[in-house]
Amino acid sequence: MTTLDTPPLTVVAPGRAARAWRTLRSSRTALVGLAIVAVHVVIALLAPLLTSYDPIANDASHALLGPSWSHWAGTDQYGRDVLARVLYGGRYALGVSVTATVLTVGLGTVLGCAAALRGGWFDDVLGRVLDAVLSVPAILTLLVVVTALGTGPLVIVLAIAVVYVPQVVRVVRGAALAVVPADYVTAARARGEGTWAILRREILPNITDVVCVEFAMRASWVVLLISSLSFLGFGADPPTPDWGLMVAENRTAITVVPMASLAPIIALATLVVGLNLAADGLSKAWGVDRLREGS
């Protein structure tokens, strides 16, 4: 016997995460890219177990040695084991890059969704500010920030956020503008829900694919930018094991010990390739047009 107070039965649709995973598995490009990135993460985490050498310990008696059973990738001009520095360098590259990318994409996503939802003067003012930041070359902005505030992981993370947040805002705003006119957003507004509640419940779940693709693509650029800063002397401080710094330190001895420069270049290249393959595969699997979303 039923009563009027009995709530109606509802049909639970498959979760977005499950559908996204099924779509992802159909993209070989994305899987290959994610596998390469996963290998880099595992190697960085297991670095202390993969080598017995201290990546910052100098040994003048073993300087500029070629590959051998003792030093598989040779040593640099200070006698440091190249392979150990490459393995530990992945920790720095991934740690700083992931932190900077999370901050950049997170802040850009919130601002982009808010601009699309609020519109009006907020959208106009934010757009003018972002256009001003985008008019300055990224590397020049980074150099100004690190010169004024000094070097260090925290400064680099904040500088990258300043450089890339405007670009993320444009991409996310374009995706959110397609969601804002939807009936469920209008109904949420009619119920009197606040801006943050609408962003969290109605808009963000429907642009997750765009945000994920943007994260993967942005991460590849961040990795390159951080290495470029280190190569120019504005990133990691010696003797920090960092790929860009390793290339800068060993470029004068490249004809003597080429692996001291080639090993970090190969590590950096494979990580960037993996991130780009992941971003390209995700965008194709989920039907995300980055050029259209960023317009």
The SS3 call for residue 258 is coil
Q: What CATH number is associated with residue 168?
A: 1.10.3720.10
Model confidence over 173-204: pLDDT tens digits?
998 998 888 888 888 888 888 778 888 888 88
Lowest mean pLDDT among 3-12, 86-95, 114-123, 135-144: 3-12
Q: How far apart are CA 130 and CA 169, in angstroms?
A: 8
Q: Are 141 and 133 in contact (CB under 8 A)?
A: yes
Asked whether the predicted pLDDT for residue 147 surpasses 50, the reply is: yes
Residue 53 lies in a domain: yes
The first and second tokens of residue 17, run together, are: 């995460």
Q: Any alpha helices (H) in 119-207, and if so which ranges?
A: 120-134, 138-149, 153-177, 183-190, 195-198
Instruction: Report phi then psi at 70, rounded to 5.
Output: -80, -40
Model confidence over 243-259: pLDDT tens digits?
999 999 998 888 899 99
Residue 94 lies in a domain: yes
pTM > 0.95: yes or no:
no
Residue 125 lies in a domain: yes
Residue 20 lies in a domain: no
- Please give the single-letter amino acid code of residue 79: G
Asked whether the predicted pLDDT for residue 295 surpasses 60, the reply is: no
Expressed as residue numbers, the domain containing 205 is 38-64+72-293
Q: How far apart are CA 153 and CA 269, in angstroms?
A: 21
Residue 17 lies in a domain: no
Model confidence over 109-144: pLDDT tens digits?
999 999 998 888 888 999 898 888 888 888 788 888
Split at pLDDT 50, 70, 90, the class of 218 is very high
Residue 95 lies in a domain: yes
Residue 3 lies in a domain: no
Residue 9 lies in a domain: no
Of residues 236, 238, 234, the one with CA closest to residue 95: 236
Neighbours of 59 (CB within 10 A): 14
Q: Domain total for the chain?
A: 1
